[in-house]
Amino acid sequence: MNFSSIEEADLEQSGFSYTLSLISGKYKMAILYCLMEYKVVRYNEIKRYLKTISHKTLSTVLKQLEADGLVHREEYPQIPPKVEYSLTERGKSLIPILDSMCLWGEKNR
């Protein structure tokens, strides 16, 4: 995006706002990092790693990440149920941006 697009187009249409909508929120990035680190993770494992997240929030956020194509959900039809989450290629391509944000934040805070 360059500035001319701010003048002419709606902000909602910029690439920045789109990217921001995918990663902003209290837990999204932590979940992405969790999946990056452990590759394939079950629902309750994620919940344990994040510690403070509620069922409702984790459930909601995972569905958003899945809908946004960043996370893959694999369900095994068995009892008790088993569901595994992992990053898609699209999700992995976002990691360098998350890293640069971490780095900037640690240097400049």
Q: Does 95 interact with its own copies (rule: CB under 8 A)?
A: no
Q: Does 96 interact with DNA (rule: CB under 7 A)?
A: no
Q: Which is nearer to its own copies, 36 or 58 (CB)?
A: 36
DSSP run (H or E) holding 27 = none
Closest CA to 28 of 100, 94, 109: 94
The residue from 22, 34, 35, 53 that contacts DNA (CB under 7 A) is: 53
Q: Does 102 interact with its own copies (rule: CB under 8 A)?
A: yes
Strand order in the sheet with 40-42: 40-42, 82-87, 71-76
Binding mask 57-86 for its own copies (x = CB under 8 A): ------------------------------
Q: Report the C-alpha gap between 104 and 84 in whole angstroms.
A: 32
